[in-house]
Chains A and B, each alone.
Chain A
């Protein structure tokens, strides 16, 4: 397998997978249950989802380990199962996608707030991410994806955790920005420039944005990031802001809308395009189609 960073350096655009959480809820994950516990109890569900995204044409498939840090797992009293949950997640997906597709280890926020405004010490956070990332890498992921971050300090601690214990593993980090009158900011007050500088300093190999408020905002965010950074950019948008239509939750942005917008993301210089909440294998198929046809035009 060619190293992922080399392919991005050569100007290739890669396709990442789509949502995990909303797919799990469609498969009867009960509210209040730990999504990551399914890696142990119902691996067949994770295999099915990986298979769907693999068939949709994703080059990068992510593990179901968003909440797999011991700090987050402690919400469910599962912190002792950190290693097992993370390594089983990798094993399930690897069986489905084989050795020629990249496997990305997802690391979401710890759910804790750092001192001084919260009560979690940075050292504890670092140790937690080290434990999770170590389990993911030892089980065979090709890249670590630190995602949905809003606190730049937490994001950089997670990058440092990865680089401390496995300096060779590529790390991508994506943050979640809201559009407010003065620009794009995370709820913790991090703007795009601060994010880019902070993540580059911490040693992130790929930077980007995920979740958010729809793909149109992501086009603006990626243009701004491209102006500020030479690192490859990752965008995983959710399918718009969910609407409550007669008691049913609907994500407004369709696969064809994503397909249309993919061209603009590529033009903005994005290197990895995938989806977040509300996206489906159909969205990924749409992205794949555009990425393939754009690549052909370039040849």
Chain B
């Protein structure tokens, strides 16, 4: 539908005002909100994610597109049951305790939301207990942990240990990422997966919850 592909295109341009206007138009034309979400907003964020992965665009473009996406989602929210955007799954993310670098984690959040996940972002400097408690209380499917400092990596291990102690390992799966993190490190500490960048985290999250 032309209106939806226009939403997608304006989102790629990072034009939040236009996305606002067009999303309103789409709602007024009685298009199913789920279709506006998927074929308008999410489809635009998919293009953004792919272009960012290929280094065709840079961080400011992604941030502007994300802003436009949030504007559209806010309009759609009240139209869904219980005021809730339908999601592929729920993920709790954060930068681990001791680490204040949240740029990468924020990007992961944007990409996951843009792909249709419900994201609970705990911010930076997040203690292990907070990851586990939130994931448990919110019945999350996944925990995503980020670290930039090499010195904060052991916190990831603590979260995984804590999940085991609470008999939640396996039920709540873990993804780790960040500059010093590797696939080998993920295996070593028993994380369920390693994501090498923000776009990859979407793929990995989908794999872990079994939708691809």
Q: Collect the chain B residues with CB atoms within 8 Å of residue A242's CB.
A: 150, 179-180
Q: A31-B151, A242-B179 are in contact. List 12 more A-B contacts (CB 8 A).
A: A25-B150, A25-B151, A31-B152, A32-B125, A111-B100, A117-B59, A117-B60, A117-B64, A118-B63, A181-B55, A188-B59, A189-B57
Contact of B55 (CB < 8 Å), options: A182, A188, A249: A182
Interface residues of A in 28-79 (CB under 8 A from B): 30-32, 75
26 contacts between A and B (CB under 8 A): A25-B150, A30-B98, A31-B149, A31-B151, A31-B152, A32-B97, A32-B98, A32-B100, A113-B63, A116-B64, A117-B59, A117-B60, A180-B55, A182-B55, A185-B58, A187-B58, A187-B59, A188-B59, A189-B58, A189-B59, A189-B60, A189-B61, A242-B150, A242-B179, A244-B150, A244-B181
A-B contact count (CB 8 A): 57
| CB closest residue in chain A, given B100 | A75
Interface residues of A in 236-267 (CB under 8 A from B): 242, 244, 247, 249
* 4 closest cross-chain pairs (CB), A and B: A31-B98, A189-B58, A32-B98, A117-B63
Residue of chain B at shortest CB distance from A186: B58
Q: Which residue of A lies closest to B101 (CB)?
A: A111
* Interface: B182 (CB within 8 A): yes
B102 — nearest CB in chain A belongs to which residue? A111
B196 within 8 A of A: no
List of B residues within 8 angstroms of A247 by Cβ: 188
Across-interface contacts of A32 in B (CB, < 8 A): 97-100, 125, 152
Which residues of chain B have C-beta atoms less than 8 A from A113's C-beta? 63
**Residue among B14, B60, B99, B185 with max Cβ neighbours from chain A (10 Å):** B60
In the assembled complex, the Cα of A32 lies from the Cα of B127 at a distance in Å of 11
* A185 contacts B64, C-beta separation under 8 Å: no
Q: How many residues of A contact B (CB 8 A)?
A: 22
Interface-centre pick from B61, B150, B188 (highest chain A CB count, 10 A):
B150
Give a binary string over B172-193; 1 marks a CB under 8 Å from any A CB, 0 the rest.
0000000111101100100000
In the complex, chain B residues whose CB is within 8 Å of the CB of A25: 149-151
Chain A: CB-nearest residue to B179: A242
Binding site for A on B (CB under 8 A): 14, 55, 57-61, 63-64, 67, 97-100, 103, 125, 149-153, 179-182, 184-185, 188
User: What residues on B are CB-neighbors of A185 within 8 Å?
Assistant: 55, 58
Query: Given the complex, which residues of A lie within 8 Å of B67, measured CB to CB?
Result: 117
Q: How far is the CB of B170 from chain A (nearest CB, A)?
A: 24
Q: Given contacts A25-B151, A30-B98, A31-B98, are A244 and B180 in contact (CB under 8 A)?
A: yes
Residues of A within 8 A of B103 (CB): 187
C-alpha gap A113/B185 in the complex (Å): 31
User: What CA separation (Å) do A113 and B9 show in the bound complex?
Assistant: 24
Which residues of chain A are near B182, meaning CB under 8 Å?
244
Residue of B nearest to A250 (CB): B150
B residues in contact with A249, CB < 8 Å: 150, 180
Q: How far is the CA of A268 from the CA of B41 in the complex (A)?
A: 48
Q: Which chain A positions have C-beta within 8 A of B57?
A: 189
With the chains together, A224 CA to B14 CA distance in Å?
32
What is the bound-complex CA distance between A188 and B184, given in angstroms?
29
Chain B residues, CB < 8 A from A111: 100
Provide the bound-state CA to CA distance between A244 and B187, in Å: 13
Whether A188 touches B125, Cβ cut-off 8 Å, given contacts A32-B100, A116-B64, A244-B184, is no
Which residues of A206-252 are within 8 A (CB) of B? 242, 244, 247, 249
Q: Are B61 and A31 in contact (CB under 8 A)?
A: no
Q: Which of A116, A185, A242 has the most CB of B within 10 A?
A: A116
- Residues of chain A lying within 8 A (CB to CB) of residue B184: 244
Q: Are B58 and A188 in contact (CB under 8 A)?
A: yes
- Measured between C-beta atoms, what is the minimum distance from B45 to chain A in Å? 15
Min CB gap A57→B, angstroms: 28
B151 to chain A: which residues have CB within 8 Å?
25, 31
CA distance A185 to B180 in the complex (A): 21
Q: In chain A between 80 and 122, which residues have their CB closer than 8 angstroms to a CB of chain B?
A: 111, 113, 116-118
> Which residues of A (16-35) have their CB < 8 Å from a CB of B?
25, 30-32
A249 CA to B182 CA, complexed, in Å = 12
CB distance from B101 to the nearest CB of A (A): 9
Q: Are B60 and A31 in contact (CB under 8 A)?
A: no
Write out the residue numbers on chain B whose beta carbons fall within 8 Å of the beta carbon of A116: 64
- CA–CA, A210 and B99, complex, Å: 22
Q: Which residue of A lies closest to B107 (CB)?
A: A187
User: Looking across the interface, which residue of chain B has its beta carbon closest to that of A22?
Assistant: B150
Residues of A within 8 A of B64 (CB): 116-117
